[in-house]
Amino acid sequence: MTDRHFFVICTWFWGGWGFWGFLLLGTGRAEESRFVFEKAEMGLPFRIALYAQGPSQAKAAADAAFARIEELNAVFSDYDPDSELSRLSRSSGQGRAVPLGADLWRVLEQAQLLAEKTEGAFDVTVGPLVNLWRRVRRKRELPGAALLEEMRARVGYKSLRLDPVTRSAELAAPEMRLDAGAIAKGYAVDEALAVLDRLGVHRALVGGSGDMAASDPPPGQEGWRIEVPAIDAPGAPPPQVVLLARRAIATSGDHFQHVEIDGVRYSHIVDPRTGMGLVGQSVVTVVARNCATADSLATAVSVLGPQKGVALVEGTPGAAVRWVGLRGRDMESASSRLWPEIAGPAGDR
């Protein structure tokens, strides 16, 4: 590593002027040097660490990867009324099928498989309930029974009908709203990594907040060192570390975004079967073969809880999970059989 101290950080500060900054640290003569780039995409900080021959190859590859993420934001954004997803949502209840672009098709197909496997604990039609709980968080006031029922009636993965022959979707109930927030970020991370690979960058780590995917590890190392987000509460288990290579990792949980009303914490993750924000206070980390899988499984396990959640992940080839959360008053943890092979105490790695 000593002769590989050529290290570049390139950071864009996203603002009205499109200002960007470029910072060069150190020099070296290594064949492959490490570069780090950051850019706000999908309203989140995305980060790419990669090894390349030099700054121009590195920057060209990172630019192309960020451009791919931006392209996917135009497909999946639920804030943008012109996104392909928003346009599809507006077709609900009209009795017509809408042809889908390749990315939307792949994500919805994967989402529906998981919805079936989890009997609707994971459900991309959850949009009306997610919006309801966004309002709850703003107003700090629980929804009334009638409003909750009204929103629940708009949700249900069985009303999202995919036709594999025409690659089209029909939203069979009125006022449906799709929300790909628990899978699209992971998919974007996978796609960005695939772009880097096609451009000859084979040692890379792409991350969009907690969700990350890696190709080959840094030279001479077993994997990219990733700290598993720890829960910040008394009795929580110590932090762990994963060495990530040709795998993805995602964390989700009601611990991070929530609102407290009358002493109860409600999460931004909703149980579509009850319409309620989760109250369990958990952090779920999943490692899987790709980030769309890790991302969606992490949310599914948050809803299902440790028992059913661990079983779900054990039935997914190459995947492992750790669940940490409150059961009653006690902090507990549960993990799948494969987890100890993948993660370990921070000091050992």
**Site of interaction with ligand ADP (CB under 6 A):** 122-124, 126, 130, 179, 181-182, 252, 256, 268-270, 272, 295, 298-299, 302-303
Q: What are phi and psi of 11, to 5 degrees?
A: -125, 130
**Contacting Mg ion (CB under 5 A), which of 103, 254, 271, 295?**
295
* Chain centroid offset of residue 72 CA: 13
- Given the structure tokens 């999970």, which residue do they identify? 321
Q: Measured from the CB of residue 281, what is the shortest distance to ligand ADP in angstroms?
A: 14
Q: Are 335 and 229 in contact (CB under 8 A)?
A: no
Q: Collapsing DSSP states into helix, strand and coil, what is residue 252? A: strand
Smallest separation (angstroms) from ligand ADP to the CB of 290: 14
299 binds Mg ion (CB under 5 A): yes
With the C-alpha atoms ordered 296, 208, 327, 334, is the resulting torsion angle positive or negative?
positive
223 binds, among ligand ADP, Mg ion, none (CB under 5 to 8 A by kind): none
Q: How far apart are CA 96 and CA 176, in angstroms?
A: 14
Q: Which is nearer to ligand ADP, 41 or 295 (CB)?
A: 295
267 touching Mg ion, by CB under 5 A: no
Sign of CA dihedral 73, 75, 77, 82: positive
The stretch near Mg ion (CB under 5 A) out of 136-144, 172-180, 234-242, 249-257 is: 249-257
Binding test (CB under 5 A) with Mg ion, winner from 182, 287, 320, 343:
182
Smallest distance, Mg ion to C-beta of residue 139, A: 25
Distance between CA atoms of residues 245 and 262, nearest Å:
44
Rounded least distance, CB 72 to Mg ion, Å: 15
Determine the Cα–Cα distance for residues 217 and 227; give it in Å rounded to an integer.
Answer: 15
Q: Which of residues 50-69 bind Mg ion (CB under 5 A)?
A: none
Closer to ligand ADP at the Cβ: 133 or 339? Answer: 133
Spatial contact of 250 and 285, defined as CB atoms under 8 Å apart: yes
> Which residues of the shown chain bind Mg ion in the complex (CB under 5 A)?
182, 252, 295, 298-299
